[in-house]
Structure 1
């Protein structure tokens, strides 16, 4: 009878260990998922910054091109005067 009780207790302990391991694995998966999400969130502003930087560079190039065109137009007008 004592052995049966001990076997039941051991079986119960094994089941608790199995549950613990499942919880541990789930927790690991959740932590990894959270880390991945944080990494993605942290990467987004950098991407946005790069896009913003590219837009600013493009705008600067456009302004420079417009200014060059304006200068050429003015030079042409002076030539005809």
Structure 2
């Protein structure tokens, strides 16, 4: 009964919510890093404070590319599953 009735109804909402949270967590990680939590946001914050704008621009482009990659991937997964 669970495999035939409950899971098909539950799957689309669960997968959609999980992919949304993954996307949100990646975006929040960059912001949290800028206030001191570490990761790429911390490296970006250090580059900006040291006036290394070319390196900061590369960091921003990396974050942008990562967000685009995750957005594209989650859209394809949603398209397949939903």
| TM-score between the two structures when normalised by the length of structure 2 | 0.38
Higher relative contact order (CA 8 A, sep 6+): 2
| Higher share of residues assigned helix | 1
TM-score by length of 1: 0.38
